[in-house]
Homo-oligomer: A and B are copies of this chain.
Amino acid sequence: MSKPYVLGIDIGGTNTVFGIVDARGQVVASDSIKTRKHSNFDDYIAELHSEVSRLLKSYDAENQIQGIGIGAPNANYYTGEIQNAPNLPWGNGILPIAEMVSKAFNGVPVAVTNDANAAALGEMTYGAARGMKDFIMITLGTGVGSGIVVNGQLVYGHDGFAGELGHVIMKRNNGRVCGCGRTGCLEAYCSATGVARTAREFLEIRTDPSTLRNINIEDITSKDVYDAAVAGDKLAKEIFEYTGNILGEAFADMVAFSSPQAIILFGGLAKSGDLLLRPLREKFEQSLFPIFRGKTKILLSELKESDAAVLGASALGWEAKFRYEVPGASFNAAQAAPTVSVPATVAPADEA
């Protein structure tokens, strides 16, 4: 029998990365297309299908894909749709991506979820959360995302949108305006852009010297703050302290919710090392409800950043349920032929 693979697709605001992944979590082949090349979603799916098919063919794996997992902003696991994703180029509507991808791939089962949930699945299947049944994945990038695993299962909530921990409120008075339209969200402080905002605030309010003052204040990035802190700049270090403190307090509240074995950090800011982790862990322990102290680890992702998104999405592929129904022919990977044209109905497939 031929070796089984899944396909992982990570749809980001700029690039769509896809990879063929084996059962041991090896990305055996991968490639990408530009997400914004087509303003028409059908054209995008057609190019994605054509490029993925090319990759599958080059790897001689055309008939061995058991399922397709897709991570995308605002993707809803239950409905198989991308719903109102402002950072994608296809407008503010409903995109039935699971149905369309399954159709393009002739009925291969598809599952979708948002990028942070995909990261959590990847970590659980292949990374730092292997063997854990209760953990929280926090992605510290341009925004703050989260994927929550309880009892070995991703928490989707009743509507498919659970796990928006970047938008718990950390400052209830005079909080920063957040991209979501409210004020005081964790994301407004502890994302990469939040760190840059903290830098601007500190530089404006305070008068102590800092090498950050050599940069045009509007252009400062979290990377600049990191570089300055590594070089010993006191103010830059305090920015990480401030960021770590807020994360530590936020994480303590998360533990009161689901008492996870670990909170796992992923994304650019997570690579700041002890600059962020020391204050974070200290504040976290201090802030915990007493019965939780000393129990929950703060860990870093163990997935290679370049692979993580695809691996995470692919992990979903093994349990994909949504598929385009080919009348008179139940799905069989080995029989799949890419040219069959069938009417548009989608049904959750039976349990594999």
Q: Could you give, for residues 120-131 of chain A, a 1 whenever the CB lies within 8 Å of some chain B CB and a 0 otherwise?
A: 000000000000
> What CA separation (Å) do A171 and B252 show in the bound complex?
14
A179 to B145, CA, bound (A): 32
Q: Which residues of B contact A164 (CB under 8 A)?
A: 256, 259, 289, 291-292
Q: A258's contact among B74, B148, B168, B259, by CB below 8 Å, is which?
A: B148
Contacts of A133 in B (CB 8 A): 158
Copies per assembly: 2
Which residues of chain A in 262-302 are interfacial with respect to chain B, using CB atoms and an 8 Å cutoff?
Answer: 287, 289-292, 295-296
Given contacts A151-B155, A167-B289, A171-B172, contact A161 B253 (CB under 8 A): no
Which of A134, A153, A165 gathers most chain B CB within 10 Å? A134
Within 211-234 of A, Cβ neighbours of B (below 8 Å) are at none
Cα of A162 to Cα of B260 in the assembled complex, Å: 8
Say how far A182's CB is from chain B's closest CB, in angstroms: 7
* Chain B residue contacts of A29, Cβ below 8 A: none
A:153-198 near B, CB below 8 Å: 153, 155-165, 167-172, 180-182
**Number of chain A residues close to chain B: CB under 8 A:** 47
Chain B residues near A134: list those with CB within 8 A: 157-158, 162
Using known A-B contacts A155-B151, A172-B249, determine if residue A161 contacts B291 with beta carbons closer than 8 Å.
Answer: yes
Q: For A295, list chain B residues within 8 Å (CB).
A: 158-159
CB-based contact B167/A170 at 8 Å: no
Taking the closest CB of chain B, its distance from the CB of A34, in whole angstroms, is 27
**Interface-centre pick from A74, A164, A171, A296 (highest chain B CB count, 10 A):** A164
Return the contact of A287 from the options B157, B182, B290, B291 (Cβ within 8 A). B182
A132-161 CB contacts (< 8 Å) to partner B:
132-134, 148, 150-151, 153, 155-161
| Known A158-B134, A169-B252, A172-B171; contact A163-B257, beta-carbon cutoff 8 A | yes
**A169 and B257 form a contact (CB under 8 A):** no
| B residues in contact with A296, CB < 8 Å | 158
Tell me, in angstroms, the Cα distance from A291 to B259 when the chains sit together. 25
A148 to B254, CA, bound (A): 13
Q: Which residue of B lies closest to A286 (CB)?
A: B182
Q: A162 contacts B252, CB within 8 Å?
A: no
By a CB distance below 8 angstroms, the chain B residues around A158 are 132-134, 259-261, 295-296
Beyond A134-B158, A180-B289, A289-B180, is A168–B253 a contact (Cβ under 8 Å)? yes
Contacts A148-B257, A150-B150, A163-B258 aside, 12 further interface pairs with beta carbons under 8 A come to A134-B162, A151-B156, A155-B258, A156-B259, A159-B259, A163-B259, A164-B289, A165-B256, A168-B257, A172-B172, A180-B290, A253-B253
Q: What are 5 pairs between A and B in contact, CB < 8 Å?
A: A150-B162, A157-B260, A158-B259, A159-B259, A253-B253
CB-CB nearest 7 A-B residue pairs: A157-B259, A162-B259, A158-B261, A134-B158, A164-B256, A167-B289, A168-B253
